[in-house]
Amino acid sequence: MVDIRIPIGLMFSIVGVLITGFGFFTMSNTEMYHKSLGVNVNIIMGILMLVFGLIMLFFAFRKKKKV
């Protein structure tokens, strides 16, 4: 069957890139990040999601080669 790590990895990578990009795009908007105590959570969470997504994809494809 399908390896579930592939869709998870893909989705987290895509959304990660999207949120990181949005974070950079809105970096100068201090009013928007006033809520989050001045932290640009979009960049942090975006990168975290991208890294998680890539790890998932890495393990999914590493296993495939072995089989």
Partner 1 sequence: MRVDLSWIDYLIMIIYFLFVLGIGWFLRKFMKNANAFLEAGRSMPAWVAGLAFISTNLGALEVMGMTGSGMKYGMLTTHFYWIGAIPAMIFLALFMMPFYYGSKARSVPEFLKLRYDEKTRALNAILFAVMTVLASGISMYALALLMENVLGWNFDLSLWVSALIVLGYTYLGGLSSAIYNEVLQFFIIVIGLLPLVFLALKDVGGWVGLKAQLAPIATARGFAPETFTTTWSHTGTAASNPLGVEWYGILFGLGFVLSFGYWCTNFLIVQRAFAAESKAAARKVPLIGALPKMFIPFLIIVPGIIALALSNDPGKGFVIPADPGGGLNYNLTIIMLLKQYLPAGVLGLGITALLASFMSGMAGNVSAFNTVWTYDIYQSYMRPRTGDEEADGKHYLKVGRITTVVGILLSIASAYVAGKFGNIMDFLQTIFSLINAPLFAVIFLGMFWKRTTGHAAFWGLLLGFLLALLHHGLTIPAGATSLVKGGWIATLHTYPVEMAQNFWTAIIAFVVSTTVTIGLTLVTKQKKSDAELTGLVYALTPRTLDDKDLKWYQRPIGLAILVGVIFLVLTIMFW
Rule CB under 8 A: which residues touch partner 1?
1-2, 4, 7-8, 10-12, 14-15, 18-19, 22-23, 26, 32-33, 35-37, 39, 41-42, 44-46, 48-49, 52
Closest CB to partner 1 among residues 23, 65: 23
Measured in whole angstroms, the distance separating CA 16 from the mean position of its chain's CA atoms is 2
Contact 12, 53 (CB under 8 A): yes
For the record, the structure tokens of 60 come out as 């999914």
Q: What angle do CA 63, 18, 28 make, to 5 degrees?
A: 140
For the record, the structure tokens of 13 come out as 């990578």
Task: Output the smallest distance, CB 42 to partner 1, in A.
Answer: 4
Closest CB to partner 1 among residues 12, 57: 12
Closest CB to partner 1 among residues 18, 54: 18
